Amino acid sequence: MPSTERETLVAEAVLDLAARTGDCDVLDLLQDLTAHLVTLLGIRAAGAMIMNGAGQVDHLAASDEDFRRLEEGQLALDEGPCVDSTRSGAVLTPVVLHPPGTGLRRWPRFAPRALRVGITSVAAVPLRVGEHTVGAVDLMGAGPFPPTRRDLRLAQSLADAAGAWLRQRKVLRTKDEVLEQLQTALNTRVVIEQAKGALAARLGIGVEESFVLLRSHARSRRQKLSELAARVAQGAVPSELDARP
């Protein structure tokens, strides 16, 4: 049976997530996970959250800058698909969002925010490292059709591929060990946010473009994004980035 182009892309995405080198940044891994989901499922956006060491849900990655703010809104409101799936450790089947006063009243504060930026349906799958649920990945749709069961199975497979890499990175036997490793990624995210802002201000560009430049520069030199971000946040911008017209 001949394979389709989409099947080939799925196989490449699984390999990309599960077979990285040991010095890859966790944040970079999850950023690519969200990008793969947007491409393969045809959704508007995707995001990833984890449970931090204090047992609270914290944002880690989003497929683009605009929807990063919506992801962070879930944290501020303490409601939304990623929050629910992280806490339950279960798949959240697609939920169609309705304007206030009509239809389903789930997430009365998050839903209006999502609708304002064009999101009409959401779903989520847990992010697992071995037997431990450490977070979730949400899927945000803007079209007339929410993700299907097959879409959710694919999303779970990609999330599990990312979890497999996290497990291979270090032998993690307890949930506390898993969370300790992921807490480092959360701390890295703060530095990257600072670097994005600093580079955007220096070059007069948007923060989304700034992030793309940082990732591209780090990858082309096989450098950790976190290490590059730390230098840029301190004002040590590489000449190749600083000279960009």
Q: Which residue intervals of the chain bear CATH 3.30.450.40? A: 5-171
Tokens of 213: 């430049």
Radius of gyration for the chain, computed over Cα atoms and rounded to the nearest angstrom:
18
Q: What's the chain's average pLDDT?
A: 81
- Location of each CATH 1.10.10 domain in the chain: 187-242
- Domain 5-171 matching CATH 3.40.50.720: the answer reads no
Which pLDDT score, from 0 to 100, does residue 171 have?
A: 44
Residue 225, pLDDT score: 75
Average pLDDT of span 50-77: 78
What contacts 6, CB < 8 A, 6 or more positions away? 40
Q: What percent of the chain has pLDDT over 90?
A: 28
Contact by Cβ (8 Å): 59, 71 = yes
The string over 37-51, giving b where at least 16 C-beta atoms fall within 10 Å of a residue's C-beta and e elsewhere, is bbebbebbbbbbbbb
Q: What sign results for the dihedral spanned by CA atoms 118, 194, 229, 169?
A: negative
CATH class of the structural domain 187-242? mainly alpha
3-state helix, strand, coil in the chain (%, to 5): 55, 15, 30
The pLDDT of residue 99 is above 90: no
| pLDDT given for residue 172 in this prediction | 47
- Where is mean pLDDT largest: 23-27, 71-75, 159-163, 192-196? 159-163
